[in-house]
Amino acid sequence: MKLRMSILCLSLLIASACAGSAMDIKDVKALADTSGGAVTLTGKVVTYANAADGFFYIEENSRNIGIRVKKASLDLSIAVGVKANIIGDVKTDLISKERYIDATTAVAAGPIVPEDAIKPIGMGNNALGGGDWSVVGAGGQQGVSNASGLNNIGLLVTTWGQFHQVNETSFTVDDGAGLNILCTVPSGTFLSSTWQYVMVTGIVSMYDAGGSYKPVLLVRETAVNTPLEVISAPGTPSGNVSPLLLLSYGYTTSAATCTQGHPIEYSFTWGDGTSSAWSTSATAFHAWSSVGAKSVTVTARCSSNHSLALTSSALVVTPVSSVANNPWPMFRHDLSHSGVSPYHDPILGGPVWATFTGNGYSSTTIAADGTIYVGGGSMTIRALNADGTAKWSTAMNSSTRSTPAIGSDGRVYIGGNGRLYAFNSAGVQKWYYTVSGDVTSSPSIGPDGAVYISMLRVGDFSTHFGRVQ
């Protein structure tokens, strides 16, 4: 009899030990908060992992219950698609009321086989969270407020609906049932306010919304249901169409857009065999080294899908070696006042013609159509035809030593006593700009069309510089 009783007691001990090793998530959630490493779970499938925040979720193969596991310095081997062995204690989050395991040990137990993969359960928004489950004393899992139905806190689910972005890490999904579900993603996850409808797979968790408890979906995957992704064409580049050689000019296009909100990259083709590097800036700079017409275009592409690309219509620019490519547009030919002509004169011998322009010190300039401009001591600016005959003359307020300068639009600038004048190619005064000195210098015209002058003030014995645009 004693032998039989000993065997029976041994059998009970073995059965008790086997029961402890076969603990499942349901057993754990039913417990009140524990201490001393009372919880042991083996071979549980990981359905969600967030190593940065130190937690993951596991779920039974039956897909009827899951639980959060917290582990400081979470091993990166704990990831979706593996099984995990866990030792720790079950606890209750004091704010959200969600039950979780505070793990002292959490190690990967090898990859799962395809048949063990946990598939999400499809649920409408109204079903997420569910009511209380086995809440007896301090055990069980509280449900969300004003909810009924099966508790699914900790389960992997899929829901769907209209997308509304809240901020960089959260959005809501409206399935039309009258309840918008909050969804959160890890920092750095791409979201776009242009998305319309989504199907979201993640873990059902819960949070305290000011005294009531609501479900929140911790997103694992998002499938975006939007129209075919396309980008709009960039606008024709804008910028200086008569740039000077070897000077850098900026060209800009109007922004293109992507229907899925991805950033757009731009590359400008300069018409001289070169292109700008791809950049999200809609402006690029270029300097030409040869004259002649160039077609400038810009191509826009989706930063996430480079095959989505469109090219703008062309802006024709004609780089020139001097302002407006006039043969002699300002004093001593160019901005450097080099006095060097790019032209070879085949005519040898004496003067071809001569004409009187009055006393003065003004030099001549020559426009693209052959018109010759000169100031003089007779308080006029004169225009001569290429054969020396008078084209027109217009009065000024004083005689001048200033040499005319010709702009890219054919406008003629010349200095006078306290004034800078602007005339059109027909001799009509367009405007004058008053300055506090005598503009005896010759104006210079910059690549951007700005006119630069210097002024001499009587009794000052110094030179002052100015810019007019």
Is the same domain home to 337 and 452?
A: yes
Give yes or no for a contact between 181 and 205, defined as CB atoms under 8 angstroms apart: no
* 451 confidence band (pLDDT: 50, 70, 90): confident
The span from the CA of 383 to the CA of 388, in Å, is: 9
Q: What is the reported pLDDT for 17?
A: 38
434 contacts 404 by C-beta, under 8 angstroms:
no
CA of residue 145 relative to chain centroid, distance = 41
What's the pLDDT score for residue 177? 85
Checking if the pLDDT of 12 tops 50, the result is no
Q: Give the pLDDT confidence score for residue 16 in this predicted structure.
A: 37
Q: Is 352 left (phi over 0), alpha (psi -120 to 50) or beta?
A: alpha
- For residue 8, give Cα distances in angstroms to 3, 14, 16, 19, 20: 9, 10, 12, 16, 19
SS3 letters across the chain: CHHHHHHHHHHHHHHHHHHHHCCCHHHHHHCCCCCCCCEEEEEEEEEEEEHHHCEEEEECCCCCCEEEEECCCCCCCCCCCEEEEEEEEEEECCCCCCEEEEEEEEEEEEECCHHHCCCCEECCHHHCCCCCECCCCCCCECCCCCCCCCCCCCCEEEEEEEEEEEECCEEEEECCCCCEEEEECCCCCCCCCCCCEEEEEEEEEEEECCCCEEEEEEEEEEEEECCCCCECCCCCCECCCCCECCCCEEEECCCCCECCCCCEEEEEECCCCCECCCECCCEEEECCCCCCCEEEEEEEEECCCCCCEEECCCEEECCECCHHHCCECCCCCCCCCCCCCCCCCCCCCCCCCCCCCCCCCCCEEECCCCCEEECCCCCEEEEECCCCCEEEEEECCCCCCCCCEECCCCCEEEEEEEEEEEECCCCCEEEEEEEEEECCCCCEECCCCCEEEEEECCCCCCEEEEEEC
| Contact (Cβ atoms closer than 8 angstroms) between residue 442 and residue 331 | yes
| Under 8 Å between Cβ of 464 and 457 | yes
Segment 382-401 shows an average pLDDT of 86
Report the percentage of the chain scoring pLDDT > 90.
54
Q: Are residues 176 and 211 in the same domain?
A: yes
CATH classification at residue 291: 2.60.40
pLDDT of residue 7: 36
Assigned token pair, 106: 């959490």
Pair 302, 182 in one domain: no
The residue from 209, 225, 241 where one domain ends is: 225
Q: Are residues 336 and 412 in the same domain?
A: yes
In a domain, 307, yes or no: yes
Q: State the CATH number of the domain containing residue 379.
A: 2.40.128.630
The pLDDT value recorded for residue 363 is 84
Q: Specify if 17 maps to a domain.
A: no
Q: Are residues 47 and 145 in the same domain?
A: no
Q: For residue 263, what are the contacts with CB-CB under 8 A and spacing of at least 6?
A: 280, 303, 304
Are 336 and 463 members of one domain? yes
Name the residue with higher pLDDT: 194 or 378. 194
Residue 300 lies inside a defined structural domain of this protein? yes
Domain-embedded: residue 8: no
- Give the mean pLDDT of 351-365: 77
Which has the minimum average pLDDT: 46-60, 109-123, 316-330?
316-330
pLDDT above 50 for 194: yes
- Whether 386 shows a pLDDT value over 90: the answer reads no
pLDDT score for 18: 37
**Residue finishing a domain among 59, 84, 119:** 119
**Average pLDDT across the chain, whole number:** 85
Please tell me whether residues 340 and 458 are part of one structural domain: yes
- Give the C-alpha separation, 160 to 56, whole Å: 23
- Asked, for residue 296, whether it belongs to a domain, the answer is yes
Same domain assignment for residues 336 and 461: yes
- Edge to edge, the sheet with strand 380-384 lists 364-366, 372-374, 380-384, 390-395
* Last residue in a domain, options 101, 119, 137: 119
pLDDT value at 161 more than 80: yes
234 inside domain: no
Average pLDDT over residues 234-252: 90
- pTM value is 0.50
pLDDT at 282: 97
Interval 433-447: pLDDT, tens = 888 777 877 888 876
Same domain, 300 and 419: no
pLDDT digits (tens, 9 = 90+) for 296-355: 999 999 999 999 999 999 999 998 765 555 667 776 766 666 666 665 555 556 677 888
Tell me the pLDDT tens digit for each residue of 256-280.
999 888 999 999 999 999 999 999 9
Quote the pLDDT of residue 454: 79
**In 10 A of CB 462, how many CB atoms?**
9
Q: In the predicted model, is pLDDT for residue 71 greater than 60?
A: yes
CATH code of the domain containing 61: 2.40.50.200
Number of domains in the chain: 4
Residue 290 has pLDDT above 80, yes or no: yes
Confidence of residue 150 (pLDDT cuts 50, 70, 90): very high
For residue 44, is pLDDT > 90? yes
pLDDT of residue 11: 36
- Which of the four pLDDT bands, split at 50, 70 and 90, describes residue 132? very high
Residues 372 and 393 in one domain: yes
206, 177: one domain: yes
Task: Please tell me whether residues 355 and 461 are part of one structural domain.
Answer: yes
Given this model, what pLDDT does residue 59 score?
96
Range of the domain at 425: 331-468
**Per-residue pLDDT at 321:** 66
Identify whether 157 is part of a domain.
yes
Q: Looking at residue 13, what is its pLDDT?
A: 35
Judge whether 206 lies within some domain: yes
